[in-house]
Amino acid sequence: MCEGVLADDPVVSWMPSREALRRQITRYCAGEYWLCPLCEAVDGKYARREEEGNDGV
């Protein structure tokens, strides 16, 4: 499971095989996580929150 884009909703990814899961974890979760498409979406969630918080300043 990964952090989801919506508050309090994790994302569960289904992989076609254990090997596909291993590749995903090795490449992104335990490697270059910033390249993960889901990580980009989650980063966008926090960027929007920061922008909304700065509107009143």
DSSP string, 2-34: B--SSTT--B----SSHHHHHHHIIIIITT-GG
29 or 52: which carries more pLDDT confidence? 29
Q: What is the pLDDT of residues 6-35, one digit of tens each?
A: 777 888 888 999 999 999 999 999 999 989
Place of tokens 């076609």: 16
In three-state secondary structure terms, 2 is strand
Compute the distance between CA of residue 40 and CA of residue 22 in angstroms, rounded to an integer.
Answer: 20
6 or 54: which carries more pLDDT confidence? 6
Q: What is the pLDDT of residue 56?
A: 47
